[in-house]
Structure 1
Amino acid sequence: MNLFVLNMLLAIGWCALFADFTLMNLAIGFVMGFAALWVASPLFDGTGYFGRVLRLIRLGGYFLYELVVSSLQVVWDVITPVHKSRPGIIAVPLDVQDPAQIAVLANLISLTPGTLSLDVSDDKSVLYVHGMFVDDPDALRRDIKAGMERKVMEAMQ
């Protein structure tokens, strides 16, 4: 059986045990099921499930950090009388080739305040991004490649 399905069944069982089917209780059940499966991991032959879940959590944490930082930057620019925004469009060369990874990367960039994914080239090698603060296009390009793109590649491979 797929370990993710087993983990979800354990989470649903946790919710049934407490007769509380809320999102928070399901998340707690998922964590408890993950811990139980981790303890029993010698029974499963060389699965990459545990590493993948941890990488997905790391991607989520990185995204939340970027979300808070960029939100504060945009809010500060809006409420202060001097606007420091320098909008621009940059081309980010992509290392990811899988369409699902490109879609996740583009959506995470668009969900972050101050940036918006505009288009992907026909050969899927370049992502065009509109940025609100493009003082240094190379710095923004490096931030996207070394941050979001690398985390997406780690989590989805």
Structure 2
Amino acid sequence: MTRKRPLFRRLIPSPMLSFTVLAFWVLMSDSFTLGQILLGLVLGVVVPLFAARLDREFARIGSLRPIPKLLCVTLWDILVSNIRVAIQVLGPERRIHPGFIWLPLDIANIHGIAALTSMITLTPGTVSAALSDDRRYLLVHVLHLDDPDELIRQIKTRYEAPLMEIFP
């Protein structure tokens, strides 16, 4: 005999996600009015209902030891890249050589891939553009591309390798 879930749990399958959606909506809206709060509440109910229907791939977590170093490396890269991009944008346009690279992925965990794409996109001058259907290649746009092989090596050693420890 299957037990029917209470109405509250059916309407709000993930209270934390509902609260997060509401909080982000209120923070992102340009005004703090009753209408915005009500719209945030509606979104906080509707978004988790659709998210609950998505096919979920649960994250397997491996070692958490690489996280502090990975965060420091990422923050450092963001800082350095901001300076580098500012110099490139303020300098002569002819010195900028944008390009795309296909980054071969060793990481297979979709959550690790999502973290990798976020780190790449957060770093100024690079944007994750597409993931191949087989999840084996990531298309990355680079504002200034000198050496594609060196960029691939840096991404794989600085970001992908630690993420593979976190998301086996």
TM-score (norm 1): 0.63
The ranges of structure 1 where at least 4 consecutive aligned residues each deviate by more than 4 angstroms after the TM superposition are none
Matches within 5 A, 1:34-73: 52=64, 54-73=65-84
Counterpart amino acid of residue 145 in structure 1: K
Query: Is the Cα contact below 8 Å between 1:114 and 1:132 reproduced in 2?
Result: yes
The answer for the alignment partner of 2:156 in structure 1 is 145
Q: Report the alpha carbon displacement of residue 83 of structure 1 after superposing the two structures with TM.
A: 4.9
1:96 aligned counterpart, secondary structure: coil
Mapped to 2, the partners of 1:78 and 1:156 lie a distance apart of 36
1:127 aligned counterpart, secondary structure: strand
Mapped to 2, the partners of 1:66 and 1:140 lie a distance apart of 13
- The structure in which a higher percent of residues are helix is 1
- Aligned residue pairs, count: 108
Question: For residues 1-58 of structure 1, what are the alpha-carbon distances to aligned partners after superposition, in whole Å with 9 as ceiling and x for unaligned?
Answer: xxxxxxxxxxxxxxxxxxxxxxxxxxxxxxxxxxxxxxxxxxxxxxx99x61x42111
Mapped to 1, the partners of 2:101 and 2:92 lie a distance apart of 27
Matches within 5 A, 1:84-95: 84-95=95-106
For structure 2, the residue ranges without an aligned partner over 5 or more in a row are: 1-60
For structure 1, the residue ranges without an aligned partner over 5 or more in a row are: 1-47
Query: Is the Cα contact below 8 Å between 2:99 and 2:143 reproduced in 1?
Result: yes
Counterpart amino acid of residue 105 in structure 1: L
Counterpart amino acid of residue 136 in structure 1: D
Q: Report the alpha carbon displacement of residue 79 of structure 1 after superposing the two structures with TM.
A: 2.2
Query: Is the Cα contact below 8 Å between 1:70 and 1:113 reproduced in 2?
Result: yes
The answer for the alignment partner of 1:80 in structure 2 is 91
RMSD: 1.9
- Of 74-83 and 89-98, the range deviating more from structure 2: 74-83
Asked whether 1:113 is paired with 2:132, we answer: no
Counterpart amino acid of residue 151 in structure 1: P
Mapped to 1, the partners of 2:154 and 2:113 lie a distance apart of 16
Mapped to 1, the partners of 2:147 and 2:94 lie a distance apart of 16
Mapped to 1, the partners of 2:140 and 2:134 lie a distance apart of 16
User: % of aligned pairs identical?
Assistant: 37
TM-score (norm 2): 0.59
Asked whether 1:134 is paired with 2:118, we answer: no
The answer for the alignment partner of 2:26 in structure 1 is none
Query: Is the Cα contact below 8 Å between 1:91 and 1:129 reproduced in 2?
Result: yes
Mapped to 1, the partners of 2:112 and 2:102 lie a distance apart of 17
